[in-house]
Amino acid sequence: MGEPHRIGIVGTGWISGAYLETLRDHPSVTIAAVADLDADRAASVAAGIPGCRARPVDELLRDDSIATILNLTVPAAHADIAQAAIKNGRQVYGEKPLTADMPTALALMEQADALGVAVGCAPDTVLGTGVQTARAAVDAGVIGTPLSAVAVMATAGHERWHHQPDFYYLPGGGPLLDMGPYYLTALVHLLGPIVAVTGAASRQRTSRVIGTGPRAGERIPVGVDTHVTGVLHHASGALSTITTSFDAVRTTAAPIEIHGETGTIEVPDPNRFAGDVRLFALGATDWQTLPPSAGYADASRGIGLLDMLTSPSPRASGTLALHVLDAMTALLCSAAEGRRIDLTTTTDRPAPVPLLPAARWRGTSGE
């Protein structure tokens, strides 16, 4: 099988724990080093990983023994870390969004293409049994020709639970760039690439109050729109309506619904790997829950990186992330300018994921 693929992690905040659940004991990879601006936090994480060392960021990025950088920094730092890694010949898999803006993302991908370096990007939740089972049903013609979709993400805001929520309300954040990647990436898997968008946006408040942790009660500024809605025009002719909001208390809407000529499919939360996929067929009297038929079963964050290392056409690719970023930034531009905007990028619809039990993708016998 050869030596395990050596990974270096930059950024050891909360989300790193989810990645470590997948990668720490996987036989095909070794987490060789971790780095963080908080050296004590990096040292604490490294102590829980056999053979791992805490390193300064610059030193880790220059280490020739590390093949791939897992970039788990805040959105504002995504580009700097990725560019430095690519310059040093390291392939990169990063958290979403790819970068905070399109010019930077385009330059990043051009740099990677010029140096022959692979780039992957979250979300990989859409590779789980939830979205993939829904996609398999759509592809099988269960609802006939897909005509439209509705996607809704509504919450009162991350400051209520996150003890350091500042970056959610700075450029590169907001409900669309933070949560939108899950929904738009799922919609591309389900309905294909997007050719144009029409958007509208607002912000309810100019500041937010942190609700938990040592900074509870502190007021932070809001520098982005906190309610974004719009229409996605897919190349297939389907129309998706999306709403992402940090200004709502609660919703009863399904995360995603796909409407076709002969039925509607309810898709579970694309920020989760699994969940019930439900079908309401034309002429039926109730919803039918579809059994999982596709996707990485019992997966967690990091499966997209493993997919990138093993698949000839990575499903959580930088190209897909660039297209999703193009759609999101165009939605914000459309909202500001009051007009439809054609996208400048496209992407292939990622290959579907067959049903892969955990024992197979984890590289274990399952016994």
Domain positions in the chain: 5-121, 125-296+318-342
- The CATH number for 5-121, chosen from 3.40.50.720, 3.40.190.10, 3.40.1080.10, 3.30.1490.20, is 3.40.50.720
210-221 pLDDT tens trace: 999 999 999 999
From 184-188, 305-309, 358-362, the region with the lowest mean pLDDT: 358-362
Confidence of residue 316 (pLDDT cuts 50, 70, 90): very high
pLDDT at residue 364, rounded to an integer: 73
DSSP notation for 224-257: S-SEEEEEEEETTS-EEEEEEESS-S---S-SEE
31-41 pLDDT tens trace: 999 999 999 99
Report the predicted TM-score, pTM, of the whole model to 2 decimal places: 0.96
The tokens for 95 are 């958290």
Task: Judge whether 236 and 191 are in contact, CB under 8 Å.
Answer: yes
Superfamily per CATH, domain 125-296+318-342: Dihydrodipicolinate Reductase; domain 2 (3.30.360.10)
131-181 pLDDT tens trace: 999 999 999 999 999 999 999 999 999 999 999 999 899 988 899 999 999
User: Which residue is listed with tokens 């004991």?
Assistant: 25
